[in-house]
Structure 1
Amino acid sequence: VNNMEARNHTAVSEFLLLGLTEDPFLQPLIFSLFLSMYLVTIVGNLLIILAVSSDPHLHSPMYFFLCNLSLNDICLSTSMIPKMLVNIQTWNQSIIYAECISQLCFVLVFSVLENFLLAVMAYDRYVAICHPLSYMVIMNPCLCVVLVQVSLIISVGDALLHTLMVLRLSFCTDLGIPHFFCELAQLIKLACSDTLIHNILVYLAACIFVGFPFSGIIFSYIHIVSSVLKMSSSGGKHKAFSTCGSHLSIVFLFYGTSFGVYITSVFSDSPRNSAVASVMYTVVPPMLNPFIYSLRNRDMTGALRKLSGRILAHLQ
């Protein structure tokens, strides 16, 4: 029995990222698709950051949080997609142990931070609509920075806790991860050691670090809707809803796709199907967020037009 255990519990040097499909004919298509999505994500979010930075009219709490969301989206995509593209291009599925653990940690940090930034943005809209006269006093620059910093500290703390717990796991000879990045749930499934505490910790952390921000968003919008319905002018109602429209679209996109992935994983036995579904909340929202904000927001559209004009003038 001891010899058998020694054979099964090998010293892990690398894992295999099995990706979205094993079909070699689909690999070039997947490479092209993900490269395009990654480039759109980077360029779109960088343009948002540059537009806000270069336009003094957009130096407000709402756009400060939007810049942080865009930066977070760039980091989230960068922590997953480049490694996947390299593996497809080199026909090599391996990822070394240290790199896998690092990727796991970064993906957790930026995923949790996304939740908190969306909650902070909802609070910002709540103050702007429900307490408009006190808005600049309440949402002062100091509070805005503190809200982002606290969100980051909580996200890093949660990610480090899960990462340290994974480091304690021992793995068997089956080291294939049916995913395109080192995902926490899939790593725990590969472990040979007891994972009860790990699974409890995952569900507990999800309830706190996803449930709490989501509850904050719902709470904010209940008060926002209540305040808007009390407004007498239709113009005021339209303006209030238009300032929330972009944020609400991003919230529905992020949480809707996350919930869809959870339902898929519950009713589907195939981890590969879950991996395909998870693209919807890890890759698609960061790519679409800049479009949602630039298309639905007149100020942002104007700032982007000015920025593109400056860039073109500089190139000429």
Structure 2
Amino acid sequence: MERMRRRRRVKWKRVFMFLFLLMIIGVGAYSAYEYTQGVMLGKEGNNNAKKAYAFNGEEVKFGKINVLLLGSDSRGEEHSRTDSIMIAHYDQNSHKAKLISIMRDTYVDIPGHGKQKLNAAYAFGGPELLRKTIKENFNIDVNYYAVVDFKGFSKIVDIVAPDGIKVDVPHEMSSGIGMVIEPGEQVLHGDKLLGYVRFRHDNLSDFGRVQRQQEVIGKLKDEALSVGTLVKLPKIMGVVGSYVDTNLDKSTMFSLGKDVLTKQSGDIKTIRIPVDGSFRNETFDGIGAVLRVNLDENQSAIDKFLAS
């Protein structure tokens, strides 16, 4: 009798192992298929060549990670400027996610180029010079970079939020975005949501655009926390490979994405630099309108924000 019980236990262990292996193979095959679908989607209408930038940020295997996020609609120019400059901060121990938006017209000292608008650093020397500029002026150590093509943003949005994102448009938006977005509460999909976050021709100018960018990123994260989005992660990674230039390797990106989606890290805390009351508007010949900032006050605000 005891021998028969042992045989049954061995039999069920083998059945369990077989089913477990089938599940692993199935998940792997599904992930590979979804990743391939994402790559194919990313290649549709995308003629921009991928760029490999030199970048000397300190690599972090585990802990607090700062990623320089840059939004660009470059058509392949060698020296384009960047529309949006953000630093995504993620603590893998506490699972807290934070976002620092730095105004592109912030007047800073760019190493080797003197006083200029912050986004000129990217035009002069790509992500690496921008990293150095941010370190020199705001004392933030950036570890990695990701340059996001805006067409890729639209496609990623439609994967993460296929039913769109609800926003309240304060007034008609049209100038400079190639479309018309009517005022009022409505649901926007990829292309129109991109227009919403890029619009700047109103009385809030870039300040309104930064506010909308932070709003949409927070709402996208809420969408991403659904179970369905974790399943879509391989497909998103496939699209990202076509539209994002980054020095983050795929395994690290997947790990960070999975971590954020499964750890329920809560709302993304945000800050805009310069903070209120720490800057004044000025205009310089050959440069244009800038924000002259109190660097000490903004460095303190960043330190307090990251420590909280």
TM-score by length of 2: 0.26
- In terms of fraction of residues, the more helix-rich structure is 1
RCO higher in 1 or 2 (8 Å CA, sep ≥ 6)?
A: 1
